[in-house]
Amino acid sequence: MTKLIHPYSLQAFPTEKILKEFKPVRGCHVHGKIELPPGQAELLWASLRNRDSDPLAWQQPTVEVDIGPLTDAIAERMGYDPRLLNEGRGETGRTEHAWSVYADESGFPLLIRWQAGAGELLLSIGILAQEELSIAILADAEGLETLLKVHDIVTGIVATEGRTERLSVPVGDTLQIVEVTSPPERAYFGPCVTLCLPSDRQLSDLRRKELERIVGGVPLFIGTEEEINRRQMYVIATPPLKPNSLRLEMIPPSATRLDFGPDEPLSQSLIDLINEAGVSRTWREFERTAAEHAYVSFDANAWDELLDKEKLDFELSERRLKLGELLRRMSPSDDCQRIHRISFSRDFQETPATHLRGTGPMAKMAEGNVETSADLLDKLRRLLLDLCRPPLMAASAEAKPKLQIKGECQLPPLASQYQDTALEQKGFEELTKPYTSTHRGLPVRVDKRVLVWRSNDTEALAADYFRHPTTGDVHFARLYRTSTPKA
């Protein structure tokens, strides 16, 4: 097994620079089965099952993956030195090409920053569900040629039906041969393009030119009339495709299906939509891979123990539902269509309700009346939404005029009895001990927190976060109680 070297830690990854400057135009991701020695798969799952009952005896198993064949194939295709790629220190053996590898102590997930001439690519390699290898790759406009060169290598980890089409794709002044292999039947449910070949398997000029502009993005299902329509049989009321016709499905098998006849071209807006969907789903794969590896360190048993103690506690049950409402209202619903700049860590999402006790509304005195105080989770949600506004739109609560005119009220003694006994308070602080979390699958430095409390509280509700100063990307890492700030 090839032992890969990981010279740079994830904390050293230039996330802020990537979020600001890297503009991907094409993205793809694939999953492939990790071939384990006979009998090891059964023992692996036995270890995972028994950890629930005896975590001390059944320690967390690990899967070591040899991705040497992948890097060797890329090195051969690109004319690189495979030894230098294995070292991952930026050298490739070619001038103006760089390959830098970032990983934590466990070795996965891998983040690879790849410079190919003027182009830039970003790779994420990780392990899903212990038995699947995930590879996600993004490329900017200048790096698109490189992505197309290695597209068949990356997708080569997927078990296929054996149907492979070779497409001639013009890239700049050269003609790039790209191999496209259809995934197995019923193995993929997501944005895709289905293309029906004539019996001689030769595309029309119209369809070939369109494929030049979408290949390497969303999955392509290519085959003859018989092969394609057999795959479509499981979708009710799906009309068969004719030779040289094309079907666009953004979220199959829903109603968002568009069919184009042999002479009907795709508009530029649809081609842009296809590529944007591919980039968006690839970013989501970056996130999924990072979250999968972060979950290994998540103490589910301790959380379940807290959950058991909360079962008969009405306040904690209500707080848990309130937190779920906050996450739903702030989380985007169109996962397949946009790149989302707001994310919540698993620690934030799985905050034990015991940490939220006392954050709900309570009775207070205000203006001589008994009223209901603010709900700290509602107050926090409004502040989090304000943090998520684009930088130019977000109003600064601390903004002050150049010339300040001060005044003072002369109030009767009785007015002091009308003060709000649970006045809403908020604050923003720099963390004394910043730490690392993941946003869009990339490591970020969490260095700030927002706090909300009421004037009669002894503890504030705090949320740690990372916010990019120019792109508006925001990641919320942790939710907890802390002492109220001193006046």
Which band of pLDDT confidence, cut at 50, 70 and 90, is reported for residue 455? confident
**Does position 99 have pLDDT exceeding 90, yes or no?**
yes
Which band of pLDDT confidence, cut at 50, 70 and 90, is reported for residue 290? confident
Structure confidence at residue 433 (pLDDT): 92
pLDDT tens across 304-313, in order? Answer: 555 555 456 7
CA 343 – CA 326 distance, rounded (Å): 13
Structure confidence at residue 403 (pLDDT): 78
**Does position 23 have pLDDT exceeding 90, yes or no?**
yes
Structure confidence at residue 338 (pLDDT): 47
pTM: 0.76
**Does position 120 have pLDDT exceeding 60, yes or no?**
yes
pLDDT tens across 320-351, in order? Answer: 888 888 888 887 654 444 456 888 988 898 88
Structure confidence at residue 97 (pLDDT): 93
| 459 vs 486, higher pLDDT | 459
pLDDT tens across 377-422, in order? Answer: 888 888 888 888 765 444 444 556 777 777 777 666 655 555 555 5
Within 8 A by CB and 6+ apart from 318, the residues are 360
Among 14-28, 91-105, 217-231, whose mean pLDDT is lowest?
217-231
pLDDT tens across 427-440, in order? Answer: 899 999 999 998 88
| 173 vs 454, higher pLDDT | 454
Which band of pLDDT confidence, cut at 50, 70 and 90, is reported for residue 478? very high
pLDDT tens across 176-215, in order? Answer: 666 665 555 444 556 778 888 888 878 788 887 887 788 7
Task: Give the mean pLDDT of 286-300.
Answer: 69
87-97 exposure pattern, b = at least 16 Cβ within 10 A, e = fewer? bbeebbeeeeb
The SS3 of residue 37 is: coil
| 64 vs 485, higher pLDDT | 485
CA 207 – CA 246 distance, rounded (Å): 8
Question: What residues form DSSP beta bridges with 98?
Answer: 115
Structure confidence at residue 24 (pLDDT): 93
C-beta separation of 24 from 139 below 8 A? yes
CA 234 – CA 323 distance, rounded (Å): 39
**Does position 423 have pLDDT exceeding 50, yes or no?**
yes
Structure confidence at residue 54 (pLDDT): 59
The SS3 of residue 420 is: coil
Q: Residue 127: is it exposed, middle or buried by C-beta count within 10 angstroms (0-12/13-18/19+)?
A: buried
**Does position 138 have pLDDT exceeding 90, yes or no?**
yes
Structure confidence at residue 405 (pLDDT): 79
**Does position 38 have pLDDT exceeding 90, yes or no?**
no
Structure confidence at residue 336 (pLDDT): 41
